[in-house]
Every structure is written in structure tokens, then in C-alpha cells.
């Protein structure tokens, strides 16, 4: 029988009261302590075995991690790890897991919605409706078009499933390409990162779904935008800095590409007066494409299921390769 103490880091702005109630109701035989300051955890830190960063800041995460010498597992609610992989946790032997897969279906739907938004020119429809204008115009097929996914992980697969169901051709870039991966029934062809220009030049839609690492930062830049079709649409559901923002603004402003649908940005919230607000060929989502009514409940339920795996000596899911950053 395990005798665990779970520390849950929350922010003052997001106390997660409903989700914490669920956690305590479903895991009754452990000590659970939640808080938004290191002082709250001082008495429990020495006996803490699990650290769960629900919504705590990086500073709090680092501080509390350093206070806990007996951890056996650390979990991050977030999928992105660029603000989680601080030096001390990378050097540590304690396994780190994240929320990969919990939000993928919703992000897949957002990508599909963005494709239809541009193919059917919904912006024009709404503009004409609001102006009281009856103006028939031609729209594009989504079926038969090619979508290229940069970062073919769990989110990438969710996008591919939905794109294929709509009759689209799917290409993908992933870090490692094996013989079995090239036979993925959802993907017509898989490319290594050094061949991404070749893939991008064939795409009607380019979806960035890659994690942010030193390798992926700025992965879509000036050369990639110049390789795109003039009608191509870029969709980012991964991390903002994977795309060179200055190069993207230039391509959009000069109409060298068809448009962009963005859920993530270099700086969030997007500053007032940012060019994205005024560009007619941009669709903006304020980093909430996965905020379904149950997204927080699902995130907590995943942690509870992970804890059950720990308690029953089953392998944890989503164990992060700290050196690779995902």
C-alpha cells in the first residue's frame, strides 16, 4: 500500500476548486495539498512523493520542486513543456509526464474548422450578411486538397484523422521516420524535417503541431513561406515560436500566401495594435481552441488515471524525454 503525498500547484487566478474536489473524492487514501505559494507546502515537502503542476507559475514550480527530495513522479497539466523543463528537473531522475492527448481531439476540430473557414470563405459570407449584401461567389473544395502536418504526434494524428475523413490528402513531417510510420494509413507520405520545404511546396494547408524545442523554434520561416503556394493557408495549434512571426506577417501582408489561422502566438495575450488584428486573411483564436466545457475535468481525470497506474505499478503514460523536450 502506497503512502503518497500529492502536492498540487495552482495559480491564485485559477484555483481549480471543482477539479480538486474530484481529485479528493476519487483518491481518498492519500494526503493532497493544493496551493499557490511555496509557504503552503513547507510542512509537507519532505514527505511529498508526487508533484502536479496544475496551473502554477514556472517560479513556483521550480521553488517547490527544489523543496521535495522524495518525489517519484512529476506531472504537468500542460502539453507544452518549454516553461516546464527547467535545468533542475531535466537533470533529475524523477519521471515527468504531461497532458499530451487530453486536448488533441478539440485541436483537430479547430484545424478542420480553419480549413473550412478559408475554403468556403466564411469571412466574406459574414461580412456580406452584416452589410445586407446578396452576393453569390464561388467557394473551394476541401476534399481533394493536401494538408501537411509539421509535428506528427498525438495532435497531428487527430488532425489527420479528420482531414482524411473529409477526403483530404495528408502529408506529415516528423523527427524520426521509420518503415512502419511510412505505412500509416492516414498519411500518404512522411518527411524528415530537412525535407520540409519539399512537403510544404505541395500543400494547400500547412498545420504546425510541433512542440517548441531548440530544433523546432522558427522551423517555419522565410524560406518556408516562399516555398508555399500563393493560396496556401497556415494553421498553428502547436506553439507560437515554431513559426517565425515576422516572416509570417510579411507573407500575409504581401498576399504571398492565402491566409493563417492561429491559436498560439509569440506573446500572449496578443498585444494591442498587433498586425494580426487588422489582417483580413487571418483568423485568430486567443489560445482557447481546446477549451471545451470539459477540458479542465478531462485534464484532472487524466491525472487521476495516471496516479492509478503509479499506484498499481503500471507504466506511466506520456513520459517526457527531457533531453528532446517532448
Measure the CA–CA gap between 84 and 57, rounded to whole angstroms: 9
pLDDT at 273: 96
Whether the full predicted model's pTM is greater than 0.95, yes or no, is no
Residues in the chain: 326
pLDDT at 13: 85
Pick the CATH number of 5-102+293-311 from 3.40.50.720, 3.40.720.10, 3.10.105.10, 3.30.70.260: 3.40.50.720
Measure the CA–CA gap between 92 and 85, rounded to whole angstroms: 11
**pLDDT, tens digit (0-9, with 9 covering 90-100), for 151-190:** 999 999 999 999 999 999 999 999 877 655 557 899 999 9
Report the 10 Å Cβ neighbour count for 321. 8
Measure the CA–CA gap between 71 and 259, rounded to whole angstroms: 47
Say whether 287 is catalytic.
Answer: yes
From the candidates 274, 287, 309, 311, give the one annotated as an active-site residue.
287
From the candidates 14, 88, 246, 268, give the one annotated as an active-site residue.
268
Note whether 114 and 140 are within 8 A (CB).
no
Dihedral angle of Cα 14, 30, 64, 59, to the nearest 10 degrees:
-20
From the candidates 75, 224, 239, 245, give the one annotated as an active-site residue.
239
pLDDT at 51: 98
Phi/psi at 170 (5° precision)? -115, 130
CA distances from 225 to 62, 122, 218, 313 (A): 38, 24, 12, 48
249 three-state secondary structure: helix
Class level of CATH domain 104-284? alpha beta
**pLDDT, tens digit (0-9, with 9 covering 90-100), for 39-91:** 999 999 999 999 999 999 999 999 999 999 999 999 999 998 877 899 999 99
Helices then strands (H, E): number in the chain? 11, 12
Which residues make up the CATH 3.40.50.720 domain(s) of the chain?
Answer: 5-102+293-311, 104-284
Spans of the chain, pLDDT less than 50:
none
pLDDT at 274: 98
Nearest of 148, 159, 122 to residue 229 by alpha carbon: 148
Say whether 268 is catalytic.
Answer: yes
28 three-state secondary structure: coil
pLDDT at 178: 65
Say whether 274 is catalytic.
Answer: no
pLDDT at 175: 85
Rounded to a whole number of angstroms, the CA Rg of the chain reads 22
Nearest of 292, 264, 285 to residue 105 by alpha carbon: 292
21 three-state secondary structure: helix
Amino acid at each position: 500500500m502506497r503512502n503518497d503525498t500529492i502536492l498540487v500547484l495552482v495559480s491564485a487566478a485559477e484555483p481549480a476548486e471543482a477539479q480538486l474536489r474530484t481529485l479528493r473524492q476519487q483518491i481518498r487514501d492519500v494526503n493532497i495539498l493544493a496551493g499557490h505559494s511555496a509557504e503552503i507546502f513547507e510542512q509537507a515537502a519532505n514527505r511529498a512523493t508526487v508533484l502536479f503542476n496544475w496551473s502554477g507559475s514556472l517560479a513556483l514550480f521550480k521553488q517547490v520542486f527544489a523543496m521535495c527530495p522524495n518525489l517519484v513522479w512529476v506531472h504537468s497539466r500542460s502539453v507544452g513543456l518549454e516553461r516546464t523543463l527547467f535545468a533542475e528537473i531535466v537533470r533529475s531522475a524523477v519521471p515527468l509526464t504531461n497532458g499530451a492527448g487530453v486536448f488533441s481531439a478539440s485541436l483537430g476540430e479547430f484545424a478542420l474548422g480553419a480549413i473550412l473557414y478559408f475554403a468556403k470563405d466564411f469571412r466574406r459570407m459574414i461580412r456580406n450578411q452584416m452589410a445586407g449584401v446578396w452576393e453569390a461567389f464561388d467557394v473551394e473544395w476541401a476534399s481533394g486538397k493536401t494538408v501537411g502536418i509539421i509535428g506528427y504526434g498525438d495532435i497531428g494524428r487527430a488532425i489527420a484523422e479528420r482531414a482524411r475523413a473529409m477526403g483530404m490528402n495528408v502529408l506529415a513531417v516528423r523527427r524520426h521516420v521509420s518503415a512502419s510510420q511510412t505505412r500509416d494509413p492516414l498519411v500518404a507520405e512522411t518527411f524528415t524535417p530537412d525535407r520540409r520545404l519539399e512537403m510544404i511546396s505541395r500543400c494547400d494547408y500547412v498545420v504546425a503541431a510541433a512542440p517548441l524545442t531548440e530544433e523546432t523554434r522558427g522551423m517555419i520561416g522565410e524560406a518556408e513561406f516562399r516555398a508555399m503556394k500563393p493560396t496556401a493557408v497556415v494553421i498553428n495549434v502547436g506553439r507560437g515560436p515554431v513559426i517565425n512571426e515576422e516572416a509570417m506577417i510579411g507573407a500575409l501582408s504581401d498576399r504571398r500566401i492565402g491566409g493563417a489561422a492561429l491559436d498560439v502566438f509569440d506573446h500572449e495575450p496578443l498585444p494591442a495594435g498587433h498586425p494580426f488584428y487588422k489582417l483580413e486573411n487571418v483568423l485568430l483564436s486567443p489560445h482557447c481552441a481546446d477549451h471545451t466545457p470539459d477540458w479542465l475535468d478531462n485534464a484532472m481525470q487524466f491525472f487521476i488515471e495516471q496516479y492509478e497506474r503509479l499506484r498499481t505499478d503500471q507504466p506511466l503514460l506520456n513520459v517526457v524525454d527531457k533531453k528532446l523536450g517532448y
